[in-house]
Amino acid sequence: MKALDSVTTMAEENAVEDVVTIATINFNATWGNKEENLNRIKGYAKTAAKRGADIIVFPEMALTGYDIDTEHTGKGRMQIVQAETIPGPSSNLLAKIAGEYGVYIIVGMPEKSDDGTIYNSAAVIGPSGVVGSYRKIQPFGDENSWCEKGDSPLIIDTAWGMVGIGICYDSYQFPELLRYYAAKGCRLYINCTAQYEDPLENSGRVSLEQYYVSTLTAGVVANEIYIASANLVGMDKVTFFGGSSMIIGPGIRATTAAGDPVYQIFAGSTNDKQQGIVMATVDLSKAARSIYKNNAVTGKPDFRPELYAKWYAELAK
């Protein structure tokens, strides 16, 4: 901590900043071509930083492409062959950009642990270097053929307070992770995702809107926090991904009376099917997180984890 002068108070020195600019990247990964993908990730990161982004989010498996390698089995699968440690070659290169521009970069990639275990991970890089990785706790479907399940949440401490990280299926089917982060004090949740869409079927758009958008907006309303979601876009190996990277957060209520929380999409839409940067400046002080704070009537939070712990302990038997 720098020395305090007569102008800077201790409160100012320790204050958490509220206003942050977030960039989420609609990214079309070239399947199996890590070198090309990394070069373009670097380009988007630099450009977003120059445009004023503080936090830059790339999709799940952006480094290598997402689709399952059906031509090889076992240790020959593409994701296993191209997996890296974190820190490692790719994250260290991105750390140079993060340090130069003073930004955070979060990018999805296959990770190889020190003992050789492979995970579907998000590398988290900050202004001071590689922070660490979040390992997807709930791999989806065939992902389990090449990666193991992670078992730990990841909260990073930034100038804007604590930020939680999740990947795709973790965010849509398992609200426990998002709720854990919000209860711990996070005002922002990062979702690296690979949400597909069939461009030739109306049901593809319906799935994107009802599964992807509805679950994220429900998370915002239930927890009154912000979510930044970055999705793959276009053809991978055999799958078309729907783009629609978004930044969502609490909206302004239309009445001064106490009412139900609402959400606002600050940037992005389900019509955005092209590569590019989706960026917004948001005010995290609007992340009320009401259910985790003392109710004015009871003097206690409405959130009751001691009960949920009992119920989950019963299910875990």
Evaluate the CA torsion angle 15, 187, 303, 174 in order and state its sign. negative
Predicted local confidence at residue 74, as pLDDT: 86
C-alpha 139/C-alpha 22 separation (Å) is 26
C-alpha 22/C-alpha 56 separation (Å) is 6
Hey, where are the domains in the chain?
A: 18-315
Predicted local confidence at residue 252, as pLDDT: 86
Residue 71: which residues within 8 A CB-CB, separation 6 or more? Answer: none
Q: Could you tell me what percent of the chain has a pLDDT over 70? A: 93
DSSP β-ladder status, 19-26 and 188-193:
unpaired
DSSP string, 27-70: B---TT-HHHHHHHHHHHHHHHHHTT-SEEE--TTTTT--S--S
pLDDT-based confidence at residue 102 (cuts at 50, 70, 90): very high
Average pLDDT, the chain: 92
What are 29-40's pLDDT values in tens digits? 999 999 999 999
pLDDT-based confidence at residue 251 (cuts at 50, 70, 90): very high
pLDDT of residue 109 exceeding 90? yes
* Beta-carbon count within 10 A of 305 CB: 13
Predicted local confidence at residue 258, as pLDDT: 63
Instruction: Tell me what the mean pLDDT of segment 91-106 comes to.
Output: 98
Residue 203: which residues within 8 A CB-CB, separation 6 or more? Answer: none
Backbone angles phi, psi at 165, to 5 degrees: -120, 140
pLDDT-based confidence at residue 7 (cuts at 50, 70, 90): very low
Instruction: Tell me what the mean pLDDT of segment 209-215 comes to.
Output: 93
Q: Which two tokens stand for residue 290?
A: 């009401």
In our burial notation (b when 16+ CB lie closer than 10 A, e otherwise), range 67-97 reads bbbeeeeeeebbbbbbbbbbbbebbbebbeb
In the numeric block, the tokens 């390698």 are attached to 69
C-alpha 18/C-alpha 282 separation (Å) is 8
Instruction: Tell me what the mean pLDDT of segment 212-228 comes to.
Output: 97
In the numeric block, the tokens 């979510």 are attached to 227
Predicted local confidence at residue 24, as pLDDT: 98
**Range list of H helices, 72-198:** 78-81, 89-101, 169-172, 175-184
DSSP string, 192-255: EE--B--TT-HHHHHHIIIIIIHHHHHHHHHHT-EEEEEEBEEESSS-EEE---EEEEEPPPSS
What are 119-148's pLDDT values in tens digits? 999 999 999 999 999 999 999 999 999 999
Predicted local confidence at residue 197, as pLDDT: 87
pLDDT of residue 65 exceeding 90? yes
Tell me which CATH code domain 18-315 carries: 3.60.110.10
Q: Could you tell me what percent of the chain has a pLDDT over 90? A: 85
pTM of the predicted model as reported, rounded to 2 decimal places: 0.93
